[in-house]
Chains A and B, each alone.
Chain A
Amino acid sequence: MDYEKIALEIMEEITDTDEINENMDLDLFEAGLIDSLSTISIILLIEEKMGLVLQPTDFERDDIATVNNFIQYLKNKNEE
């Protein structure tokens, strides 16, 4: 599975910008691009794209803070 592609697609949709692939270590919370409520949209998009059913408590803040962290998270979660 192409986790990078999925992660970028999800984050682009959530943040409404396609510039996030320019710096995949950018802290999305600090940049004001996502907030705590974004997790709900992220969960629904993961479900849609990967068929993985998650709960809000399956994330730590860091797991979705940057695109790179998110790629790693999706990889770990799917291969668990």
Chain B
Amino acid sequence: MITQFGDLFSLYVYFILLLPAIILGILGKKIKYYGFIVSIPCLFLIFVDNMNLSWNIKIYINLIQFILYLVYQFALIIFFTNYWKNNKNKYVYYIVLVLSILPLFLVKLSPHVKMPPIGFIGISYLSFRIWQIIIDTKDGNFKHKNILDIFYFITFFPTISAGPIDRQRRFFKEINSDINNIDYINNYLIDGFKKIVLGILYKFAIASFINERILENLHYLPKNYAFLATIIYMYAYTLYLFFDFAGYTNFAIGTSYFLGVKPPENFKKPFLAKNMKEFWNRWHISLSKWFSDYIFSRFLLNNLRNGNFKSRKLATRVAFLITMGTMGIWHGFELHYILYGLYQGILLVITDIYLSSKIYKNFKTKKLYAPISIIVCFQFIAFGMLLFSGYLFK
């Protein structure tokens, strides 16, 4: 469960804190400076939220880690953006990238080795923003110089705990362009409210209901019903995860709208996917797009340029496995995450083979193609979620 916007009260607090931003928007004024200031209490709220409002030492440990992390990553970014202006040594780029990945790697490793538990909420998603800046700098696509803007982008709080993952170019263009008051009211304020209302329905009505009525009651089933319990858990968890995550995402996007920022959408009716490729264009879209742009495509391009693979098909399939494997490990080094990544990778390879087969070309034209595909695909999706949940390894 995602803790940011975890209850109606915190939603209310965000709303109060964002009221001045809404007023600025209605007046047609620039919001980014207020957005920058309000980040501080809002980020604090996220850390407090994460600790169930118990004011203890953990909050400070979280805050200190967060600040240290930012200072460290900023030092890397400032060094690298300056270095790359005059020098183009690829090894320096790789070292900077590895140094930037290192903290998240250690955080994910810490539960598995003799190490004090480290990490703070949002570190995974902050990392995506930072790595993006480093890679885009290397490509010559990061030219923004205003340090305040960069800071705002990296610490942008509405989407900090679980996305959507924004893109720097769009973000900078947006926060520095003027939104006139009518545009703000119609396309940011009203749409933002709609998203938040939908989010309340998703997260606090549907997801909570599934969690409290089904998931938390499954252990009452007698032991010899373990298989049935697993099946129920699989479907219920899949629906729960969607409504909880999509609910959170609606809050994240809605509050961003209030600040005059339109992050990318993250869900597009995922359970209507007819195959797993389509699923990844509908589920956690900003994540799969990030992995596609920064890992999948680059791996494929480099290998095709160097002629490392005999056929393009083979290269594509290896790229699927590597990308999804990385995605699994990114969630953590737990066995179920690694298996989840491999499962998704293998499914994409199978989907790729299926989509270029004669069976598919014939089937596609049949009347029942869509309903059957959707039902079958949903089984694969649900089994993936069951793997992801770790339920099988408890």
State yes or no: do A and B come from one complex: yes
The 8 A CB mask of A41-62 against B (1 = contact, 0 = none) is 0011001000000011110100
Binds A, one of B74-82, B176-184, B294-302, B377-385: B294-302
Are B139 and A36 neighbours in the complex by a CB distance under 8 Å? no
Chain B, interface size: which category? 10 to 19
A40 sits at the interface (CB 8 A): yes
Cα distance A47–B305 when bound, in Å?
10
Asked if residues A57 and B139 are in contact (CB atoms below 8 Å), the reply is yes
**Pair B304/A44 contact, Cβ less than 8 Å:** yes
Please pick, from B281, B294, B305, the residue contacting A57 in the complex, using a CB distance under 8 A.
B294
Distance between Cα atoms of A43 and B305 in the complex (Å): 11
Interface of B is mostly: helix
A69 located at the interface, meaning its Cβ lies under 8 Å from any Cβ of chain B in the complex: no
Indicate if A39 sits at the interface (CB-CB under 8 A). yes
The listed residue (A44, A47, A57) touching B293 by CB distance below 8 A is: A57
Chain B hits for A44, CB < 8 A: 301, 304-305
Taken together as a complex, chains A and B put the C-alpha atoms of A41 and B72 apart, in Å, by: 38
> Are B300 and A40 in contact (CB-based, < 8 A)?
yes
Known: A57-B136, A57-B139, A58-B139. A39 touches B297 (CB 8 A): yes
Known interface pairs A57-B136, A57-B293; A43-B141 also in contact (CB < 8 Å): no
Q: In the complex where A39-B297, A40-B297 touch, is A55 in contact with B139 (Cβ < 8 A)?
A: yes
B65 contacts chain A at the CB level, 8 A cutoff: no
Question: Which residues of A have CB within 8 Å of B281?
Answer: 36
The residues of A that contact B135 with a CB separation of less than 8 Å are 57
Q: Flag whether B292 is at the interface (Cβ < 8 A).
A: yes
Q: In the complex, which residues 242-287 of chain B have their Cβ closer than 8 Å to any Cβ of chain A?
A: 281
In the assembled complex, how far is the CB of residue A55 from the closest CB belonging to chain B, in whole angstroms? 5
**Residue on A with the closest CB to B289?**
A36
Within 8 A of A (CB), among B160-205: 169
State whether B298 touches A55 (Cβ < 8 A): yes
* Chain B positions 293-332 with a Cβ under 8 Å from a chain A Cβ: 293-294, 297-298, 300-301, 304-305
* Closest Cβ–Cβ distance, residue B321 to chain A (whole Å): 16
Q: How far is the CB of A16 from chain B (nearest CB, A)?
A: 14
Residues of B with Cβ closer than 8 Å to A? Answer: 135-136, 139, 141, 169, 281, 289, 292-294, 297-298, 300-301, 304-305
Known: A36-B292, A40-B297, A56-B301. 20 other contacts (CB 8 A): A36-B281, A36-B289, A40-B300, A40-B301, A40-B304, A43-B301, A44-B301, A55-B139, A55-B141, A55-B297, A55-B298, A55-B301, A56-B293, A56-B298, A57-B135, A57-B136, A57-B139, A58-B139, A58-B141, A60-B169
Q: What are 23 pairs between A and B in contact, CB < 8 Å?
A: A36-B281, A36-B292, A39-B297, A40-B297, A40-B300, A40-B301, A43-B301, A44-B301, A44-B305, A55-B139, A55-B141, A55-B301, A56-B292, A56-B293, A56-B297, A56-B301, A57-B135, A57-B136, A57-B139, A57-B141, A57-B293, A57-B294, A58-B139
9 closest A-B pairs (Cβ-Cβ)? A56-B297, A56-B293, A55-B139, A57-B293, A40-B297, A40-B300, A57-B141, A40-B301, A43-B301
